[in-house]
Amino acid sequence: MQSSFTIKRHAIKGFTLVELLIVVIILAILAAIVVPQFASSTDDAKLSAAKSTLSNLRSAIDLYYQQHGKYPAAVASSGATCPNSGTAGTGAADTQAALQDQLGLYSGADGKACSTSDATYKFGPYLKNPTIPADPITNVSTVTIVTAGNLAMVGDGTTGGWKYDNKTGKIIINNTTLDSSGLGYDKY
- The answer to whether position 178 is within a domain reads no
- The answer to whether position 185 is within a domain reads no
- The answer to whether position 50 is within a domain reads yes
What pLDDT score was predicted for residue 188? 31
Share of the chain above pLDDT 90, in %: 49
Q: Provide the whole-model pTM.
A: 0.74
The contacts found for 30-34 with CB under 8 angstroms, 24 or more apart, are none
24: confidence class by pLDDT, cuts 50, 70, 90? very high
> Peptide bond preceding 125: is omega within 30 degrees of 0, i.e. cis?
yes
Task: Give residue 106's domain range.
Answer: 13-173
Crossing angle of helices 17-68 and 96-104, in 10° steps, is 80
- The answer to whether position 38 is within a domain reads yes
Task: Work out how many domains the chain is built from and give that number.
Answer: 1
Comparing CA positions, the residue from 133, 76, 82, 140 lying closest to residue 102 is 76
Torsions phi, psi for 140 (to 5 deg): -115, 135
